Structure 1
Amino acid sequence: MESLPRIDFVELHDLDRTPPVLRTLHTESIAFIYRLTDAAREYSVPLSLALRLGASHRIVDLCAGSGGPVPLIQRRLHREGVHTQVTLTDLVPNVRAFQRVQAANARVLPDCCSVDYESSSVDATDCALEGTRTIYGAFHHFPPALAVRMLQNAVDTRQPMVVVDTKRSFVYPLLFPFLTTLMVLISAPFQRNPLPRYLLRLVLTYLVPVLPFMMFFDSVVSFLRMYGRAELQRMVDGLSGTETFTWKIGVVPGFTGAQYLIGVPR
């Protein structure tokens, strides 16, 4: 599948006409799946490598959705003796979710590993915040021109960049959509929400299964949109000033198939 061209469909939760509450319920499900599957075990590897290469321990998480895996990665790195400060950002920030993540991490981590957030919109392709920029599970949402603009912005501002997505493989689109949909069905009663949204989640999961359908459809489309390692390399090679960065592209062995692109200023 690595040699096949990327197919740029549209995911349902990306559509402008998708109700914001549906988008929030969907991204909260994704965040819950990250916790359920301990994705941080493999997802922490690229960030740890970037930090060893000299990237800043101040982390600016782009496209953080409802919190994403980075706060979980921060906890894992802390157990390994690596301390980071995380700022959650998004083009349409879910401030309430960010506040819940901030409070949860404050209960289990000391002051050396803080979580804060930007309540205003942050464009991943034109970011002015300083720190190591991370984007987990969202890079494939950007068509090539915007993906290149995001990387170019990191080079122009001399900020390290860590991109993590799933590798291109025939196995993942055949297997993962069923697993993630099953997790949505199993996890709905256990997700913490204010009562009205909790009841809405149950209705849209079991009575009118909008959320399982959205997860299945978006999972299939996500894997069709993933960039291969050769495509990432072409992006890097075409950047202005690319020689001023050290770049690494690879895959973390394991269940998640975490593929990474790391760029650190020389």
Structure 2
Amino acid sequence: MKRRHLFEFGDCQWLPSLLRDYMTDYLRFVSTKFNLFGGTLPRLTEILEHTGQTQIVDIASGGGGPWLSLVPELQSKVPDLKITLTDRYPNQAGMNQVAFALPQVVETDLRSIDAREIPADLVGLRTQFLSLHHFEPADVVSILQNAIAVNEPIAVFEAQQRDVEHLIRFGLSPLFVILLTPFVSPFRIRRLVLTYLIPIVPVLVFWDGIVSVLRTYTVEEMLQMAREADPGQRYEWNAEVINSGQIKNPCLTGWPVGPLNQD
């Protein structure tokens, strides 16, 4: 299936932040409830142990990402774990909810942070969950180059593949939005109105879900972009599909061949 970089509503600057937040709240809930990224824990642990890192800078965190389900087990392997949540359009309430639940581990940076240009004061393993497909190939190369320039390891994970199976799965997303919305926090009357009375949120999630599948990179494409970003082969790159039950997580990981920055 050919990759098609159609538009997603969540990427549009003109989309009201209220609607974007409702979408990312839903994604955080689903990621946590169904442990979409549980299969990535061995890779995260491996990178942190290999590089000696204890800090994670999470890029494009949206409403807080999958950390509510990942932190308890990851922290058992990395006791000094610290995570900073960032996004270009930060969902402040969603991020703060995760930070409040995990106050010893998670903090938020509510600046508008471009994944292609992470501020120098944010150091540590860079992670992305369910967000790489938002970027065109040239931008993915820039994201990787930005990490390489400061000698920081990086790990990106998706929760879908570009195939018919996932088009069907994501095509059912409006049904799940309708069923799960009452359980999504923080509770908002407007969320219920825009889901049931005026079903804007299910439509937005449906469109962006289908487009996400069509935008998703294969592991071969991820590796090709990594090679383009790192022609000097300064990093060790690995790409694979992690199978965890019915969930498939395409991922790309990379870390410096030489010593990490210790500044």
Name the TM-score, length of structure 2 as normaliser: 0.90
Could you list the structure 1 runs, at least 4 aligned residues long, displaced by more than 6 angstroms after superposition.
Answer: none
Give the corresponding residue for 2:28.
Answer: 31
Alpha-carbon distance in 2 for matches of 1:43, 1:32: 18
Q: 1:201 aligns to what?
A: 191
Q: Does 1:246 align with 2:236?
A: yes
Q: Which residue of 2 aligns with 1:160?
A: 153
Corresponding residue of 2:210? 220
Q: What does residue range 24-63 of structure 1 map to in structure 2 within 5 Å?
A: 24-54=21-51, 56-63=53-60
1:16-53: per-residue Cα shift (whole Å, max 9, x none)?
22111000111001101112112242232331232243
Q: Is the 8 A contact 2:54 2:82 kept in 1?
A: yes
Contact kept, 8 Å, 1:71 with 1:115, in 2: the verdict is: no
Q: C-alpha distance in 2, partners of 1:11/1:76?
A: 33
Paired letter, 2:191: R
CA distance in 1, matches of 2:130, 2:12: 17
Whole-angstrom CA distance in 1 between matches of 2:47 and 2:217: 20
In structure 2, the partner of 1:174 is 168
90-99 vs 22-31, greater mean Cα deviation: 90-99
1:14 paired residue among 11, 16, 21: 11
Query: Once superposed, what is the RMSD of the aligned Cα atoms?
Result: 1.7
Give the TM-score normalised by structure 1.
0.89
Report if aligned partners of 2:26, 2:177 keep a CA contact under 8 Å in 1. Answer: yes
Q: CA deviation at 1:55?
A: 5.5
Which letter maps to 1:228?
T
Percent identical among aligned pairs is: 31
For residues 170-195 of structure 1, the C-alpha deviation after alignment (integer angstroms, 9 at most, x for no partner) is 211122331x332211121122335x
In structure 1, stretches of 5+ residues that fail to align are: none
CA distance in structure 1 between the aligned counterparts of 2:238 and 2:251, rounded to whole angstroms: 8
Specify the alignment match of 1:75 in structure 2: 72
Q: Please state how far the C-alpha of 1:207 moved relative to its aligned partner.
A: 1.1
Question: What is the CA distance between 1:241 and its match in structure 2?
Answer: 5.0
* Count of residue pairs the alignment pairs up: 252
Name stretches of at least 5 consecutive residues in structure 2 with no aligned partner.
Answer: 258-263
Query: How far apart are residue 167 of structure 1 and its match?
Result: 2.8
Task: Report the CA distance between 1:91 and its aligned residue.
Answer: 1.0
